[in-house]
Amino acid sequence: MKQIQVFDPALCCSTGVCGVEVDQALVTFAADVDWARQNGVAIDRYNLAQQPMAFAENTEVKTFLEHAGQEGLPLILLDGAVILTGRYPTRDELVRWSAIDAGSEGAKPAKSCCSTGCCC
């Protein structure tokens, strides 16, 4: 099974979905992580504010932070290798990386918008 690790910037809580002004990207990603976990994907998230040792003890992450700084976060690793930096992955990317069948029973495909701009 593929292992996805997400190294978040310093957030107020484990998902960043709290407070008065919530970043929609964090809301969407938190929902996608829940969906992926329900479909058997192994995803671990680490918050710089709450789990700094996870950042310091991982060679890839430590090197990334030394060069890009925390402004480059989030950092996504797939089986220990850097696969994405600076933004959260889409549901489609999580599906592709984890090789789950997005069409399987219980799995819901990622939403897409039609040409008119409405969600289909």
Query: What element of type H or E holds 44?
Result: strand 42-47
Give residue 91's domain range.
Answer: 3-98
Q: pTM for the full model?
A: 0.78
Indicate whether 7 belongs to any domain.
Answer: yes
> Is residue 116 situated within a structural domain?
no
Strand partners, 78: 4, 81
**Residue 110 lies inside a defined structural domain of this protein:** no
Q: What is the pLDDT along the chain (120 residues), one digit of tens a residue?
A: 799 999 999 876 655 656 567 778 888 999 999 999 999 999 999 999 999 999 999 999 999 999 999 999 999 999 999 999 999 999 999 999 998 776 654 444 444 333 333 333
Sign of CA dihedral 66, 52, 18, 43: positive
Task: Report cis status (omega within 30 of 0) of the bond before 9.
Answer: no
CATH number, domain containing residue 93: 3.40.30.10
Q: Within a 10 A sphere around the Cβ of 92, how many other Cβ atoms?
A: 13
Give the total number of structural domains in the chain: 1
